[in-house]
Amino acid sequence: MSHPTTTGKWLKLCLAGLLGSLIHLPAIASTPPKLGNSQFVDPFIGTGGDGHTFPGAVVPFGMMQLSPDTEAVSRGVDPQPEIYKRCAGYHHDDTTMLGFSHTHFSGTGHSDLGDLLIQPMVGVAHTKPGTVNSPESGYRSRFSHDREWAEPGYYAVDLLDYDIHAEVSTTVRAGIHRYTFSRGNTGHVLMDLTHSIYNFSNKVIWSDARVVDEQTLLLHRRTNGWAKNRPTYFAVQFSRPFDDIELINEDNARYRCNGCLDKGGNKHSTIVNPAEQYTAGKAIKVMAHFNKPTDKPLLIKVGMSAVSHANALENLQAEIPHWNFEQVRSEARSAWDHELAGIDMQGELKEKRQFYTAMYHALQAPSIYQDVNGQYLGVDGAIHKAEGFTNYTLFSLWDTYRALHPLLTYVDPARVNDMITSMLVHYQQSPNKLLPIWSFQGHETWTMIGYHAVSVIADAYLKGIRGFDVELAKEAILATANHPRFDAIPEYKQFGYVPMDVLPESVSITLEYAYDDFTIARFFEALGDKDNAEEFYRRSQFYRNVFDKRVNFMRGLDSKGNWDPDFDPEEAKYMGPFTEGNSYQYTFYVPHDVQGLIDLFGGDKPFVERLDTLFTKELSLEKIKEHEDIAGLIGQYAHGNEPSHHIAYLYNYAGEPWRTQQRIRQIMDTLSSDKPDGLAGNDDVGQMSAWYVFSAIGFYPVAPGDLTYAIGAPQVPQASFRLANGKTFAMTTEGLSQDNLYIQSVTLNGKALKRSYVTHDDIMQGGKLHFVMGNKPNKAWAKAKSQRPPSSTEGR
């Protein structure tokens, strides 16, 4: 069983609880799920396959993600496990669990985090993780999906090797653990600061642990992972005093003299005070011991900060001042119910499960990154105080500018302003004076390409979300898009494309710059700045320069004007001219000027033929072996990675929207489900899920910033947006079924809608979009040029 979403499952859960352990039944039975939309969320979706989501506890956009890790890189573990599979620490295939760590990415294709692992035990107090085949050789415990529960803001599991029922829940910056022991004279709680997700096995730069009193610890570590020098501070409080504690420094010998023991049996010298309740080094673990653990459940509260021990403690005291686990759980659940009410979707339980889980995954990041006192770690490595806004981090922009950020403009526009302000202060604090590329926790990782922050800002501004410093935004956008050093911007401006002899991924970078420039042009156009608008409209057409008309493919071009002689449109070569993709996919990356691209192809017919080829021509895995991110294939189309996300909607632009309707259903049926492996690839910090939310409702932002949405086909019976302006935009269907996948007709507020797109204004004015579905395509609907979604070249 995965989680309690139905009465039947709930009963089964209770039964499992009864059969398994009477001790932890009351906690579960006394808290039946409330009836908000969070009841439909299954946090296990995406934990299988390569979804890379985590099943643990988090609140909407929360700073802490408290979740079980089933496998991770840990010093001394040899061989290291397959790490890509465990980007979120947990994988549904795994059968043993290491414990609970407090920070996780949701859906990323590269990873980091896993800070502060806590694992309760009875019996031998293990300090090493042990192996999968022999979990009893370490602190690792077996677990079973039959004895595991998850709901938004809450996760529970039975640690079978220890007969411990473990539960966790969170607030924004703090978490709470509840461990119910059912046997043993002494319970042990290991806090392992060496545990890490992904990356190098010697990832810990430095760490320390200090005993404040018998119920309070302060912990800290800095890691060199995806972020180069990332500090986390933790304040840990136990619900009862420990009976004994061990501060373990696995490199201890280094700080002690040889051959001299003090009263504690520790080595002594005049430069060590072994009685000090403190240790520091690169391999620090703390083991707390509690006698008579079965007396009552042991609770552990953990506050987190990137700034200081003091802030970690302050965050904890502010957010969980009590010892009421159920209150934390209930408040987390309420926060999710509130957030998930942004869209009221009606349909079958399975559909609701998939839909609200997608929303759940979409509403986790960018995540809050500041302490309750407003302090946060800036990308300049300094501590700042957020004044007049809430600071957010985790900008996976290459992924999320596409659908996630546009989704947020409807379901949580207030946060959009804070997210943009966070990107602007990043720009100000960035020593390179650049908007974020792929940043998290005070660090710019430089991952992926483009400068898509500009798309997010422009889309929001054009939609009227303007609660940020617009002058600063103008400065930041221009500084970024004209940066003298970043990647190949000077050459892009000089040549009109990025020459392949200047930088790898040159074609993808050219195409994505061109789209970003379109959004900049739109932004300055709206501001009345004609010069900048014109300049960036001009740049937005640079995509044409890498289109080889002889083969109708986007293709590498060098600085001397020679096309890539080794061109293979199917090949996705690492550090080739394309980024995590091939030319079949990237040739369609002109989201802002599809008509211009159709013209380059020579008209609708060759364009549609190529789209068909994309979806039908088998892609040899040999061609993409250098990229683990390219997944979820239909022919050459890779739903599991972002460069494909808009492509199924492009038939609309060639007047054949029924083909889009067909493809969307095909993708939904084959690459998406409500099972743990229901995501066809990395969720990518909610982008895949946001694609699902839009597509299920029936339209998609092909080119954020142009304020139009290409209509695909609704996949759920009805859904309505609760808009910030108090209005509701409702989508309804008639006749939708497995067979009735084609649009017969559409009405908007009762009037026939003959175009294959809706606009932002259509949505914000509220009203009703109604689809009549059938099992045969209506090939005449929205076929005319005037009925197709607009492109940037039109009317300009």
User: By the 8 A CB rule, do 353 and 38 touch?
Assistant: no
Number of residues in contact with its own copies under rule CB under 8 A: 61
Scanning the structure block, which residue is given the tokens 């009606």? Answer: 346
The answer to whether the beta carbons of residues 222 and 206 sit under 8 Å apart is yes
Q: Does 431 bind its own copies (CB under 8 A)?
A: yes
The enclosing H or E element of 665 equals helix 657-671
Q: How far is the CB of 480 from its own copies (least distance, A)?
A: 13
Interface segment toward its own copies; rule CB under 8 A; list 124-132, 270-278, 605-613, 752-760: 270-278
H/E run at residue 249: strand 244-249
- Give kind and range of the element (H or E) at residue 188: strand 186-192
Cα–Cα dist 128/119, whole Å: 11
360 Cα distance to chain centroid: 11
CB of 228 to its own copies, least distance (A): 5
Is residue 433 near its own copies by the rule CB under 8 A? Answer: no
Distances 30 to 2, 7, 371 between C-alpha atoms, Å: 19, 15, 33
Q: Is residue 228 part of the contact set for its own copies (CB under 8 A)?
A: yes
Among 224, 346, 745, 747, binds its own copies (CB under 8 A): 224
Side chain identity, residue 206:
W
Answer yes or no whether residue 221 interacts with its own copies by CB under 8 A. no
- Spatial CB neighbours of 780, under 8 Å, sequence gap ≥ 6: none
Contact flag: residue 244 with its own copies (CB under 8 A): no
Which pair of structure tokens corresponds to residue 413?
């526009």
Nearer to its own copies (CB atom), residue 227 or residue 458 = 227
What secondary structure letter does DSSP report for 426?
A: H
| Positive or negative torsion for Cα 247, 249, 255, 259 | positive
Q: Which of 35, 263, 561, 786 binds its own copies (CB under 8 A)?
A: 263
Q: Is 477 left (phi over 0), alpha (psi -120 to 50) or beta?
A: alpha
With beta carbons less than 8 A apart as the criterion, state whether 764 and 753 touch. Answer: no
Interaction between residue 448 and its own copies (CB under 8 A): yes
Whose tokens are 């999710």? That residue is: 336
DSSP string for 212-261: EETTEEEEEEEE-SSSSSEEEEEEEEESS--SEEEEEETTGGGGS-SS-B
Specify the residue, 280 or 341, whose C-beta has the smaller distance to its own copies. 280
Does 560 bind its own copies (CB under 8 A)? Our answer is no
Q: What is the closest distance, in whole angstroms, from the C-beta atom of residue 270 to its own copies in the complex? A: 5
Nearest to its own copies of 310, 724 (CB atom) = 310
Stretch that binds its own copies, among 275-283, 295-303, 352-360, 528-536 (CB under 8 A): 275-283
How many residues are recorded in the chain? 796
What's the closest the beta carbon of residue 378 comes to its own copies, in angstroms?
A: 10
Residue 248's DSSP bridge partners are 285
- Min dist CB 287 to its own copies, Å, is 19
Residue 275 engages its own copies in binding (rule: CB under 8 A): yes
> Identity (one letter) of the amino acid at 121?
M
Identify the residue among 134, 574, 669, 775 touching its own copies (CB under 8 A). 574
Residues forming a β-bridge with 167: 156, 178
Q: Minimum distance between the CB of residue 82 and its own copies, rounded to whole angstroms?
A: 19
> What tokens does 455 get?
């798309």
Q: How far is the CB of 487 from its own copies (least distance, A)?
A: 7
d(CA 365, CA 62): 8
Is residue 278 at the binding interface for its own copies, with CB under 8 A as the rule? yes
Contact 40, 345 (CB under 8 A): no
Q: Say whether residue 260 binds its own copies (CB under 8 A).
A: yes
Q: What is the DSSP string of 751-794?
A: EE--SSEEEHHHHHT-EEEEEEEESS--TTTT-SGGGSPP-TTT
Look at the block and give the residue holding tokens 């700073």: 63
Stretch that binds its own copies, among 52-60, 118-126, 257-265, 773-781 (CB under 8 A): 257-265
528 touching its own copies, by CB under 8 A:
no
Question: Rounded CA gap, 237 and 310, in Å?
Answer: 14
Q: Decide whether 76 or 446 has the Cβ nearer to its own copies.
A: 446
What x-and-dash track marks residues 8-37 binding its own copies by CB under 8 A? Answer: ------------------------------
From first CA to last CA, the distance across the chain in angstroms is 56
Tell me: does residue 308 bind its own copies (CB under 8 A): yes
Residue 210 or 289: which CB sits closer to its own copies?
210
**Nearer to its own copies among residue 251 and residue 609 (C-beta):** 251
Q: Strand ranges (DSSP E) for 298-348?
A: 298-305, 343-346
Near its own copies by CB under 8 A, which window of 265-273, 419-427, 603-611, 786-794? 265-273
Residue 75 contacts its own copies per CB under 8 A: no
Closer to its own copies by Cβ: residue 212 or 723: 212
Interface of this chain with its own copies, residues 181 to 210, rule: CB under 8 A: 200, 205-206, 208, 210
CA angle 174, 179, 184 (to 5 degrees): 150
Interaction of residue 84 with its own copies, rule CB under 8 A: no
Q: How many Cα neighbours within 13 Å face the side chain of 119?
A: 31
CA dihedral 66, 430, 469, 393 (to 10 degrees): -10
Q: In whole angstroms, how close is the CB of 477 to its own copies at the nearest point?
A: 19
Among 146, 244, 262, 761, binds its own copies (CB under 8 A): 262
- Scanning residues 333 to 372, which ones bind its own copies (CB under 8 A)? none
Nearest residue (CB) to its own copies, 325 versus 395: 395
Q: Which two tokens stand for residue 625?
A: 């072996």
Report how far residue 250's alpha carbon sits from residue 707's, in angstroms, rounded to the nearest whole number. 57
Least separation in angstroms between CB 110 and its own copies:
7
Q: By CB under 8 A, is residue 257 in contact with its own copies?
A: yes
Pick the closer one to its own copies by CB: 222 or 675: 222
479 sits near its own copies (criterion: CB under 8 A): no
**Rg (the chain; Cα; Å):** 27
* Closest separation in Å from C-beta 318 to its own copies: 18
Rounded to whole angstroms, the Cα distance separating 595 from 603 reads 9
Which of 84, 206 has the CB closer to its own copies?
206
CA dihedral for 94, 100, 106, 108, sign (positive or negative): negative
Please report whether residue 447 would count as binding its own copies according to CB under 8 A. Answer: yes
**Is 756 in contact with 787 (CB distance < 8 Å)?**
yes
- According to CB under 8 A, which one of 83, 125, 132, 212 is a site residue for its own copies? 212
Footprint on residues 716-775 left by its own copies (CB under 8 A): none
Q: Which of 177, 222, 592, 760 binds its own copies (CB under 8 A)?
A: 222
Stretch that binds its own copies, among 187-195, 571-579, 711-719, 756-764 (CB under 8 A): 571-579
Binding mask 480-509 for its own copies (x = CB under 8 A): -----xxxx--x----------xxxx----
Rule CB under 8 A: is residue 229 a binding residue for its own copies? yes
Contacting residues toward its own copies, per CB under 8 A:
110, 200, 205-206, 208, 210, 212, 218, 220, 222, 224, 226, 228-229, 254-255, 257, 259-260, 262-263, 268-273, 275-278, 280-281, 308-310, 380-383, 431-432, 437, 444-449, 485-488, 491, 502-505, 574-575, 579
